[in-house]
Structure 1
Amino acid sequence: MVSTRAGAPAGSVQTAPRPPAAPRPAAHWLETAEDEGSGQIVLAFDDNRIASQLFGHYGQNLALIERRLEIVAEQRGNHVTLEGPREACEQARHVLETLYARLKKGGELLPGDVEGVLREAAAQGLLFEFDAATKKQSFDEIQLRRRPVRARTAAQDAYIRALKRQTLVFGVGPAGTGKTWLAVAYAVHLLERRVVDRLILSRPAVEAGERLGFLPGDMKEKVDPYLRPIYDALHDLMDRAFVERAMTSGEIEIAPLAFMRGRTLANACVILDEAQNTTSMQMKMFLTRLGENSHMIITGDPSQIDLPPGQTSGLAEAVGLLGDVEGVEVCHFNAADVVRHELVGRIVAAYDSKDAAARAAAPAGNGAPRR
């Protein structure tokens, strides 16, 4: 890719190739007469097909960058002119160059990737990727055979780093923050590299007050609806045929929490999802299943508890008891980390405000109402 910037004399243009491994070239900036501190950067991309992917269908990716950074991004062919405050234009340049580099390496541009790189730059205060002078680098990622899975927020970055260094990790926060998806991605990473022999993925089946014994069908038919999010994550991260073979052979096991009792889970990566719906005894039972050469990941949202009134959530208790224990790390997410549709983050924040007001006005209880 070539970066072309307006020079000091009006109307002149300086163009220089940007070596892939070299430091960033000096920024040649043209300040507009109308607004001191504003100006423009022109980017030219050398592959029209990849540039089209970068800009998005009907320019939707450029439109998102415009909204987030409050600049104007005007596209003509494989060129983009960025106009606005200097810092915002430099940040837009970073986002476009980072995503273009990923596409040139054969990567995919998935929904949320533009938002992820925008958040990455904002959270770390970076206007460019790894720089030898600053010793800073971009968000961490998990390497999988199908594709790398990259953090999109600072909280996700901290979560991935915790997964790589700790034996037991709690991911606590609202829906849509990537807690379960990243946990499954890391488990798949361990299985693909034969660090562990199997994956064990579990959830407590208590949603909406239903109990397994009262549901129709055999055991698989009873538990499948509760475990569907885990199936979806596996099929997104691995070849579907491999997932089915691994489940048949026992390399991947998906089961309700009740099936964990009496077992020692060695040489495995074990994930407990929706852990806010465990009781104190269930959580203790699950934690003590940990065997040699195993990793355990526990995820949940304390604001979505389905336990009977007055019953303590095992997740909340475990986080309070084990947060300072060696080998354990607790990672917290909030509404700002929601990586679904941008409206979801605002919806979660609105409900969080309502729940906070309700807790302030009422005696301490089991948690906020299910929403």
Structure 2
Amino acid sequence: MSTTTNQPLTKTLATGGPDQVRILLGVRDANLRLLQQAFPVRIVAREGKLSVTGEADDVEKASAVIERLLAQVKRKKTLTDRDVAEALRAAADRAAAFTEETEAPRAPAAPSAVRSGFPISPRSRGQARYLSAIDENDLVFCAGPAGSGKTYLAVAMALHALKTERVRKIVLVRPAVEAGEKLGFLPGDMLAKVNPFLRPLLDALRDMLDFEQVQRYMEHDVIEIVPLAFMRGRTLNETFMILDEAQNTTVTQMKMFLTRMGTDSKIVVTGDETQNDLPASVTSGLNDAMKRLKNVPGTACVNLDGNDIVRHRLVREIVKAYDDRPHSVEK
């Protein structure tokens, strides 16, 4: 009678050379230690190559994280602590996600947009519901806390729709609402003044596409980033529109934006009611629209919460602390 033993598997990963390996491993091999703490594998660097040894499943998981980090090193020529922590957290989330398949909503295929060479996919059940809603409806509202992926995933789905030729154009919109600093005090012309409000949308794009591709899309009017006020009077066909920071729209502004939808278009509206910068007497257009339109066919309303936050681990604690004492006043 023969017995079988699980033989260790060794996988060799190609790199861009010793310099990329040095950046990947980190100062005094700090990143290497984190990788080996996260996965029961042995990682050896030799002659510009990496070998990963361990049980087959562990080797594949560790290799996927290393390849993601190597792609970031190749693109950015650097690697931050945040990059490493996010890659390890993403791997842990994928391992733990959807263990109870009957409770988890069915998510659409992962968007073809990639971040640093790594496919973008939902990292919580709430995010899976959100992507499914976008896939299945033409108008989606998403409310949730900072860091829950509202805007990021919407941009990923917009790029996915563009690449699969479901739309011809992407329009990213934000209201230019002042939060403590008056626009008139900022230097430059009007475009320079509104640029800070639109910057988060551009950052999301540049995280998924290389700089030249973003520039090319914008120069050819395939991707447009505009303040909400510039949307009045337009009708957009075959367009994926995203309205970000929608809690800072009025009811009238929201109606104006929603009625820009033309044939074969899709709209995603995102916001966080806890970060409302409107005067106390003004009703938020996001809250109003979600109540008015929640039962309209082809429309979906998704609420994300602290469990969907995927930024630094402290963001969940910060959001929770403010939610627990929403009316505290500094003395």
TM-score in same-fold range (> 0.5): yes
After superposition, where does 1:54-65 map in structure 2 within 5 Å?
57-63=31-37, 65=38
Deviation at 1:47, TM superposition (A): 2.5
Name the structure 2 match of 1:331: 302
Q: 8 Å contact 1:202–1:256 — kept in the other structure?
A: yes
CA change 1:217–1:334 in 2 (3 A) is same
The alignment status of 1:46 with 2:11, answered yes or no, reads: yes
Distance in 2 (CA, whole Å) between partners of 1:114 and 1:76 is: 15
After superposition, where does 1:198-347 map in structure 2 within 5 Å?
198-210=169-181, 212=183, 215-347=186-318
In structure 1, give the amino acid aligned to 2:90: G
CA change 1:158–1:249 in 2 (3 A) is same
Give unpaired runs (5+ residues) of structure 2.
Answer: 16-20, 45-51, 73-82
Q: 8 Å contact 2:145–2:272 — kept in the other structure?
A: yes
| Aligned residues: CA RMSD | 3.5
Name the structure 1 match of 2:110: 141
Deviation at 1:242, TM superposition (A): 2.1
Distance in 1 (CA, whole Å) between partners of 2:58 and 2:88 is: 7
The superposition leaves residues 65-87 of structure 1 with CA deviations (integer Å, 9 ceiling, x where unpaired) of 48xxxxxx575754458xxxxxx
Q: 8 Å contact 2:65–2:91 — kept in the other structure?
A: no
Structure 2 counterpart SS, 1:46: strand
Give unpaired runs (5+ residues) of structure 1.
Answer: 1-11, 17-42, 67-72, 82-92, 131-135, 360-368
Indicate the structure whose relative CO is greater, using CA pairs within 8 Å and at least 6 residues apart: 2
Distance in 2 (CA, whole Å) between partners of 1:56 and 1:329 is: 45
Q: 8 Å contact 2:237–2:263 — kept in the other structure?
A: yes
Q: 8 Å contact 1:139–1:154 — kept in the other structure?
A: no
In structure 2, give the amino acid aligned to 1:161: S
In structure 1, give the amino acid aligned to 2:287: A
Name the structure 2 match of 1:166: 137
In structure 2, give the amino acid aligned to 1:267: E
Distance in 2 (CA, whole Å) between partners of 1:170 and 1:244 is: 29
Q: 8 Å contact 1:116–1:151 — kept in the other structure?
A: no
In structure 2, give the amino acid aligned to 1:227: L
Q: 8 Å contact 2:53–2:59 — kept in the other structure?
A: no
Deviation at 1:161, TM superposition (A): 1.7
Name the structure 2 match of 1:122: 96
In structure 1, give the amino acid aligned to 2:11: D
Name the structure 1 match of 2:49: none
Structure 1 counterpart SS, 2:195: helix
Distance in 1 (CA, whole Å) between partners of 2:57 and 2:277 is: 44
CA change 1:61–1:344 in 2 (3 A) is farther
Name the structure 2 match of 1:15: 6
CA change 1:185–1:311 in 2 (3 A) is same
Deviation at 1:153, TM superposition (A): 1.6
CA change 1:238–1:115 in 2 (3 A) is same
In structure 2, give the amino acid aligned to 1:331: V
Q: 8 Å contact 2:11–2:53 — kept in the other structure?
A: no
Structure 1 counterpart SS, 2:235: coil
Match of 1:354 among 316, 325, 329: 325
After superposition, where does 1:89-104 map in structure 2 within 5 Å?
97-98=60-61, 100=63
Structure 2 counterpart SS, 1:298: strand
Deviation at 1:210, TM superposition (A): 4.7
Q: 8 Å contact 2:65–2:88 — kept in the other structure?
A: no
In structure 2, give the amino acid aligned to 1:264: T
Q: 8 Å contact 1:120–1:138 — kept in the other structure?
A: no
Larger gyration radius, structure 1 or structure 2: 1
Of all paired residues, the percent bearing the same amino acid is: 40
Distance in 1 (CA, whole Å) between partners of 2:58 and 2:184 is: 52
Q: 8 Å contact 2:107–2:128 — kept in the other structure?
A: no
CA change 1:154–1:217 in 2 (3 A) is same
Structure 2 counterpart SS, 1:115: helix
The superposition leaves residues 148-190 of structure 1 with CA deviations (integer Å, 9 ceiling, x where unpaired) of 2122222122212221111111221111111111111111122
CA change 1:252–1:161 in 2 (3 A) is same
CA change 1:272–1:118 in 2 (3 A) is same
CA change 1:102–1:74 in 2 (3 A) is closer
Q: 8 Å contact 2:35–2:62 — kept in the other structure?
A: no
CA change 1:106–1:217 in 2 (3 A) is closer
